[in-house]
Amino acid sequence: MKITTAQLRRYGKPVAFLLLAWPALWLGYNWYLQFQYLPNGLGFNPQEATHRWTGDWAMRFLILSLALTPLSKVIKSPKPILFRRMVGVYAFFYVCLHLVNYVWLDKFFAWGEIWLDILKRNYITIGMICFLLLIPLAVTSTKGWVKRMGARRWQKMHKLSYVIAPLVIVHFFMMRKGFQIEPLIYGAVLAALLAFRLPKLFKR
């Protein structure tokens, strides 16, 4: 049975919304268990676990948002693009949780220390740059902003994601001290997605 675009909008989007919210729901539930002094998935260092959990899912959803357009071309259907904006907004949501965890649970709002970290620690500098670049993309993610800016200008600005995503991988690689295979896997996936667009860029 062929699924129509209208059915995807009506039934698929609520399901996608819940799936994208699952990491945050898991995190909230485990923090509830933590406050109840019950066994949970956050381990002996819940702050560090939260930091990694939110950062990992922010990166995964950012990469997923970039994968939906190539997927739509491979399967020759625009349907995956219906979820691109939702995935992108969720990626920003998890970035915000990642930042709140750092500012609140790690630094306890010690703004002086936070500023020194931004200046001295390269991976935090890159992380903050990514956050600042994501803000205009998140703010202009609504249909109203597409109309205000015009589709062409909106698309040009949202190509910032192709700059942000490699910086996120660099941030992740620098956080994982020493040689680890996981950042290389994410980097390879992103490189493949960016390479998918090279023929189009050369054609232009």
| Tens-digit pLDDT string for the chain (204 aa) | 577 777 777 888 999 999 999 999 999 999 999 999 899 999 999 999 999 999 999 999 999 999 998 899 888 888 888 899 999 999 999 999 999 999 999 999 999 999 999 999 999 999 999 999 999 999 998 888 888 888 888 888 888 899 999 999 999 999 877 778 898 999 999 999 988 876 665 555
pLDDT at 165: 94
Per-residue model confidence (pLDDT) at position 204: 56
pLDDT at 2: 73
Q: How far is CA 84 from its chain centroid?
A: 12
pTM recorded for the entire structure: 0.92
* Tokens at 3, concatenated: 């699924």
- 176 SS3 class: coil
CB 163 within 8 A of CB 118: no
How close are the terminal C-alpha atoms of the chain, in Å?
38
Report how far residue 42's alpha carbon sits from residue 50's, in angstroms, rounded to the nearest whole number.
Answer: 7
pLDDT of residue 200: 65
Could you tell me which of 30, 28, 52 has the C-alpha nearest to residue 42? 30
Closest by alpha carbon to 17, among 84, 79, 87, 78? 87
Number of domains in the chain: 1
The per-residue pLDDT for 1 is 57
Distance of CA 106 to the CA centre of its chain: 21
What residues make up the domain containing 89?
5-203
